[in-house]
Amino acid sequence: MKSQRGPRILSLLFAALLLLSACAGWGNTPSDTAGTQPPGETDAAPNAVSGTEDAAPYHDSVPALDFKGDALIFCVRDMVADEMVVEEASGEITNNAVYNRNSMMEKRFNVTIGRTVAVDTGSGEILDFIRQSLYAMDDSFNAAAAYCSGAGDLILENWFVEWQNVPYVDLDNPWWAVNINDVFTVNGRLYSAVSDLCVTSMQYAYAYLFNQKLAADFGVENLYDVVDEGRWTLDYEYALTKDIYADTNGNGQKDDEDIYGLLTDLNTSLICYLPACEQPFLRLTDDGLEIQVNTERMLSIYDKLDKLFHGTNGVFTIYHGRDGYVYDDKYKLFKNDIALLMPVRLYALYDELSDMTSDYGIIPYPKYDETQEQYRGSCLDGYSTLCVPRSVRDLDMVGALIEALSCESKNSVMPAFYDSALQHRYSRDSRSAKMLDVIMDGRSYDLASLYSGATQGLKNVLRMAIVENTPIASYYASKEEAYENAVEQLYLKLLTLG
């Protein structure tokens, strides 16, 4: 069955941030909101640096080319079908920006831009679709937007060209995500890249929410100040949440009707703590790929999280499939005001929390300690990455279009999505807008996510150690040989591609 979530994913986050900004209770400064534009029209987006309505500051270096009516077709998942191509302008600002961007490029290069939509329920159906299409050489697409943790499997099957060999593409340009692409480059080769075409790399970012009603009830200091002063760390979170517990139903048992300092799942939210603490699973060295589990910092992070999740009454955890809970239950509980804090992916703001009554704010994941200079974080590894099949007939056309589209996304789509809509149009609280900047600027990535299958799920080691309440050193030791062999084979395989 086709997912109904995805086609709405771009537009609904704006409504969520409108709700978020209305929920932000500190330092509110009202800002104007604009009415809906007619289909095919957009407001001028502010310059990303100056905040003024200047001309677009970025220009690609793709020359004048005429592709004589050829077509650039993206293979996309149905759940995010509108990420790169929309069939018509709807009047919503980002939808219009995507539509206008593509129309502009169609006229500039004499092409059509379309999409092949693959149904994907989250079980990897799009990977099979891509394989079958490429094997059959049916030309149903010439660029694939595969999800990150699945793209690695296709890369190792040698389906894709190196981005360094795609004409007209310059990965050093600011519309390419250097913090992702550098990490995903091995032996000077990059097969799966992220540019400003990939809006899901923003939508799937992780953050923390805090319930402002409970913050006031428990006398919690201004958490925006804590973040700004660099004090928002794992130790601070532990000290803040460990004593926040109230047996509100009076049954003498911890349950989901009580009040806690922290409500969290023990699924994907756990994976984000490592990038937030600047601790990778895999590190590329001159000698190959090194597993970073048995490092002093990794062991310390585990100890801090183990104490947080298992050492106090102030935390309520749910695990998908255990004790009758499913992952999304945490959103229902948070809306019932049972917790001060909850980690969340940004798209859940519109998908799950749009009807929350109590006010809440948004902050990044905590740092490892106060000596760590920057707040870091990550994304659910289902965000889209761009891959170009080796079977493409006109690589010049694909390269020229993706480079130009990515540049124009930097100029119009991302500002419409982020600078104009999230900050200037809807955010009534400059501090919540600043937190979004911090979260977006701090996103970091790991090869263990791209090659999740090839590394036998190495990215889940910390999470599973926490779930099973087992010291991470012991958990890893029980599987160390398998992980090391898998990583060694991964590196050797990457050296043979091309």
CA distances from 486 to 169, 363, 452 (A): 32, 36, 11
Q: Where are the beta strands (DSSP E) in 337-417?
A: 339-345, 360-363, 384-387
Q: Which residue has the higher pLDDT, 425 or 199?
A: 199
Is 174:408 a contact under the CB 8 Å cutoff?
no
Terminal CA-CA length for the chain: 37
At 406 the pLDDT is: 97
Please give the helix or strand (H or E) that residue 246 lies within, else none: strand 245-246
Is 58:410 a contact under the CB 8 Å cutoff?
yes
- Residue 241: both structure tokens together: 């949440």
Mean pLDDT of 408-436: 68
Distance CA 339, CA 360 (A): 11
Work out the number of other CB atoms within 10 angstroms of the CB of residue 140: 15
Please give the share of the chain, as a percent, with pLDDT higher than 70. 86
Closest to 444 in 3D by CA, of 274, 203, 259 = 274
Angle subtended by helix axes 93-109 and 395-408, to nearest 10: 140
Which tens digit of pLDDT belongs to each residue from 271-297? Answer: 899 999 999 999 999 999 999 999 999
Closest to 71 in 3D by CA, of 160, 141, 168, 169 = 141
Distance CA 101, CA 79 (A): 21
Question: Do 36-202+382-428 and 206-378+442-481 fold alike per CATH?
Answer: yes
CA distances from 412 to 96, 196, 212 (A): 10, 10, 34
| Confidence at 61, pLDDT banded by 50, 70, 90 | very high
The domain segmentation of the chain, as residue ranges, is 36-202+382-428, 206-378+442-481
State whether the Cα torsion 22-28-30-31 is positive or negative.
Answer: negative
Mean pLDDT of 131-147: 94
173 pairs with which residues across the strands?
A: none
**Lowest-confidence range among 57-61, 322-326, 473-477?**
322-326
- Residue 372: both structure tokens together: 């760590």
Q: What is the DSSP string of 111-128?
A: EEEEEEEEP--SSSHHHH
At 229 the pLDDT is: 97
Confidence (pTM): 0.84
| Confidence at 429, pLDDT banded by 50, 70, 90 | low
73 pairs with which residues across the strands?
A: 114
CATH superfamily of 206-378+442-481: Periplasmic binding protein-like II (3.40.190.10)
| Confidence at 419, pLDDT banded by 50, 70, 90 | low
At 15 the pLDDT is: 45
Which tens digit of pLDDT belongs to each residue from 13-43? Answer: 544 444 444 444 333 332 333 333 333 333 3
At 3 the pLDDT is: 37
- Residue 251: both structure tokens together: 């049954």
pLDDT, averaged across the chain: 86
CATH superfamily of 36-202+382-428: Periplasmic binding protein-like II (3.40.190.10)
